[in-house]
């Protein structure tokens, strides 16, 4: 099915578009170009519908732990496969009114795989690099992917924060990484959820729902509750986060999603 017009023809698609967070073409870190295209109402038609190269389009949110865990995988594909365009729509970002009114948004992250303006596949949830390439029906040529070699990293820590929403409640997300010589050695995501006074009676039920999700350790706080996904948690291990991104790449990616890093 050919997608000719963004806001008129896209409603006829057999596949449902879903949600996205940041993306990262203009890296704040001058030494890093992570080649992920940030999508909004202004450039959707040009960058997605009229793209001359196959597209992996991600839809995500800054308050979605699997979305954050996917960042190194998206960076890896964008960096290593120059004949694939990786694009991202951040649902927490401005200038998405037409996208939101046109596309049904159900889950985070959701991926759409597009060739010649046609959606050939889509699915939701975290995935490996191999699964994303398979869904794109992509076979690397001998020259499309460089030989793998370990990149010497700088041993340092990265901490990035952003204000967002969690099921309609305000929250504050802190994601931190510890970088070794060549790999991310430790990762942690802390989400502080703020429960307003008028919803205090529902706080215990919210905490129980968060615990039952199995995404991390949940503890009450003075203003609501906190969800902590540690490096050794069952959830983090199940997500199998790719750990080859450098400090500069991760900082650039997170800052262009709206995070403040230090």
| pLDDT, tens digit (0-9, with 9 covering 90-100), for 108-152 | 998 999 999 888 998 989 999 999 999 999 987 655 655 455 555
Category of 41 on φ-ψ map: left (φ > 0), alpha (ψ -120 to 50) or beta = alpha
Average pLDDT over residues 103-107: 75
Please give the helix or strand (H or E) that residue 84 lies within, else none.
Answer: none
DSSP-derived secondary structure letter, 202: G
**For residue 151, what pLDDT is reported?**
55
How would you list the strands of the sheet with 260-261, edge to edge?
A: 217-220, 224-229, 184-194, 169-179, 156-166, 260-261
Name the residue among 112, 136, 137 with its Cα closest to residue 3. Answer: 112
Top-confidence residue, 253 or 95: 95
Residue with token string 């190269």: 53
**Residue 218 · residue 224 · CB < 8 Å:** no
Compute the mean pLDDT over every residue in the chain, rounded to the nearest whole number. Answer: 83
Residue 2 has pLDDT above 50, yes or no: no
The whole-model pTM stands at 0.80
Average pLDDT over residues 99-112: 81
**For residue 165, what pLDDT is reported?**
85
Q: What is the DSSP string of 97-157?
A: HHHHHHS----SSEEEEEETTEEEEEEES---HHHHHHHTT----TTTSPPP-PPPPP-EE
% of the chain exceeding 70 in pLDDT = 81
**Residue 188 burial (CB count, 10 A):** 18
Please give the helix or strand (H or E) that residue 16 lies within, else none.
Answer: none
Residue with token string 């080859």: 244
Distance in angstroms (rounded) separating the CA atoms of residues 71 and 90: 13
Tokens standing for 260?
């403040």
**For residue 157, what pLDDT is reported?**
94
pLDDT band at 21 (very low <50, low <70, confident <90, very high): very low
Which range has the worst mean pLDDT, 93-102, 138-147, 151-160, 201-210? 138-147
How would you list the strands of the sheet with 118-124, edge to edge?
A: 36-38, 85-90, 55-60, 110-115, 118-124
Residue 65 has pLDDT above 80, yes or no: yes
């Amino acid at each position: 099915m050919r997608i000719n017009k963004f806001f008129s023809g896209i409603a006829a698609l057999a596949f449902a578009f879903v949600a996205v967070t940041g993306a990262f073409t203009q890296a704040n870190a001058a030494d890093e170009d992570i080649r992920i295209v940030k999508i909004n109402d202004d450039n959707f038609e040009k960058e997605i519908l009229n793209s001359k190269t196959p597209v992996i389009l991600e839809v995500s949110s800054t308050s979605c732990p699997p979305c954050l865990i996917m960042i190194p995988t998206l960076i890896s594909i964008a960096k290593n496969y120059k004949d694939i365009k990786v694009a991202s729509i951040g649902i927490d970002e401005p200038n998405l009114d037409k996208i939101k009114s046109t596309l049904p948004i159900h889950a985070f992250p959701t991926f759409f795989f597009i060739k010649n303006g046609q959606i050939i596949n889509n699915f939701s949830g975290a995935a490996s690099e191999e699964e994303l390439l398979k869904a794109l029906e992509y076979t690397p040529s001998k020259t499309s992917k460089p030989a793998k070699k370990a990149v010497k990293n700088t041993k340092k820590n990265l901490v990035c924060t952003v204000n967002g929403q969690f099921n309609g409640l305000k929250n504050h997300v802190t994601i931190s990484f510890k970088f070794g010589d060549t790999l991310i050695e430790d990762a942690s995501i802390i989400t502080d959820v703020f429960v307003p006074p008028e919803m205090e009676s529902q706080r215990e039920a919210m905490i129980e729902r968060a615990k039952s999700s199995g995404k991390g350790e949940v503890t009450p706080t003075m203003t609501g509750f906190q969800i902590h996904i540690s490096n050794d948690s069952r959830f983090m291990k199940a997500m199998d986060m790719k750990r080859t991104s450098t400090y500069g790449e991760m900082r650039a990616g997170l800052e262009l999603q709206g995070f403040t890093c230090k």
